[in-house]
Amino acid sequence: MSELDSKLAALRDDLHESISPPEMAHVTARARQRTTRRRMQVAAVATVVAVSVAVPVLRALPDDQQPAKPPLPDSMTFQLDFADPDHGYALGSDCVEPDGPCTLALFATADGGRTWERRSLPDGDKRYALGDVSVLDADRVRLDRVSGQKQWARVVSDDGGRTWRAATAGPPAAPAPIPDGAWLQPVCVGEEQDDSGCRLGVGAVSRDPARVAPAPTQPPLIEPVIGRSATEGGRYWAAGVERSSGRWAISVTSDDGRTWSTTQVTLPGEPAMNDAWSVVENDGVMYTTLQGSIAKGPYGLLAVFRSTDGGVTWTNTWRATPKTVLQAMLGAPVATDDGRLLVYSAATGTYESGDGRTFTRSDRRLPGEVLWTRGGYVAKRGPHAYAISTDGLTWRDFDIR
């Protein structure tokens, strides 16, 4: 984990104690690398050629050159998510120091990242200590910001970030089945108290972006780590410590949260504080990867679990020893259309496995750290450069600019 991520994690933990509603404590933001990406947009002057019997005449049309877009700051980093293969949003943060103050900028795409439009924010260039964007669907986006005085503010947009309105957090909505394409987050359920001030469970953002509807039933986990988007097969998942046994477990639902299949698992080490668990699926085969460390050793891939029955049962196909931790693994794994599992290490590159049991160096390299979204896999190639794939095999590059 980078120094910036460590500082952001510490800030989130601090905010966790002082900000309401409780689910805001699980705000996650990613920003790791910086470099230069500039582009000037230039339109050519068009001419129409008319030919007469004696002398050719050239006639120039009016200059339709558009003002050039100002280049993005080299220091701007992005939090990126797609609601579907076409619609995505990127929240840029340009920070004076890693812990702020930061100038925020929102960008939107409706063509799979090929082009991006900058959206105006309610407070213009006002600076904040932290910003987080939640992509609820193609048109609805939610922005949470924290000022230097730890004052939290939420605004939502129903038209792709063109207009905004303040959102006042209210009580959770009534429990309801998780809708297709939902964006999940923690929500208070029941009256039982824990360290967060309430018992946390799985919730889906309702039609009112300020409210979260608990799933009809909850996985039996303490403060579950929740996959915010469904897998390729439409399954939602959570991981955490099982309440009854005190053991780590993986829970999966394939019926919109009405029932959960929970499997206890044994871990070889300690999970990372952030982004420890990832679940991906392709053609009915599911993989869970766990990142962390053994006896405070190097951070990396600790274990791989595989399921072929929709997450009802899991097999621990690979587990690390203190000497075999795959160091510096970043992001989610990739389950490809040709049946392979790919994982990315910032230190040594891409590794592949045919069954999750043995890994070898791969000739088919991932473009960078990978995020699973409702629009497919998105990999970070550089500070403003990304790639997207729906099959894990072919990647299309794009830049945010």
Retrieve residue 153's tokens. 């503010």
- Give the pLDDT score at 97: 82
Check residues 34 and 277 and name the one with the higher pLDDT: 277
Query: Cα–Cα distance between 107 and 120 in angstroms, integer?
Result: 9
How large is the average pLDDT for residues 351-375?
96
Q: What are the CA-CA distances from residue 64 to residues 5, 42, 43, 71, 121 (Å)?
A: 44, 9, 7, 21, 28
Q: What percent of the chain has pLDDT over 90?
A: 67
How large is the average pLDDT for residues 284-298?
96
Q: How confident is the model at residue 67 (pLDDT cuts 50, 70, 90)?
A: low
Is there a contact between 271 and 230 (Cβ–Cβ < 8 Å)?
A: no
Q: How confident is the model at residue 41 (pLDDT cuts 50, 70, 90)?
A: very low
> What is the length of the chain?
401
- Give the pLDDT score at 38: 29
Angle at 74 between CA 77 and CA 228, to 5 degrees: 10
Following DSSP, what letter does each residue of 172-238 receive, concatenated? PPPP-PPPTT--EEEEE-SS---TTSS-EEEEEE-SSTT-EEEPSS--SEEEEEE-SS--TTS-EEE
Is there a contact between 18 and 149 (Cβ–Cβ < 8 Å)?
A: no
Question: Tens digits of per-residue pLDDT, 112-124?
Answer: 999 999 999 988 7
On the question of pLDDT at 135 being above 70, the answer is: yes
Query: Cα–Cα distance between 264 and 296 in angstroms, integer?
Result: 23
Question: Tens digits of per-residue pLDDT, 165-204?
Answer: 998 767 778 999 999 999 999 999 976 655 556 899 999 9
Residue carrying structure tokens 């939640």: 134
Task: Supply the DSSP symbol for 7.
Answer: H
Q: Residue 344: helix, strand or coil by DSSP?
A: strand
Question: Tens digits of per-residue pLDDT, 231-248?
Answer: 999 999 999 999 999 999
Give Cα 83 to chain centroid, integer Å.
11
Is there a contact between 395 and 380 (Cβ–Cβ < 8 Å)?
A: no
β-pairing, 270-271 vs 285-293, is antiparallel
Retrieve residue 101's tokens. 């103050």
Residue carrying structure tokens 């129903």: 158
Check residues 365 and 38 and name the one with the higher pLDDT: 365
Cis, bond preceding 21 (omega within 30 deg of 0): yes
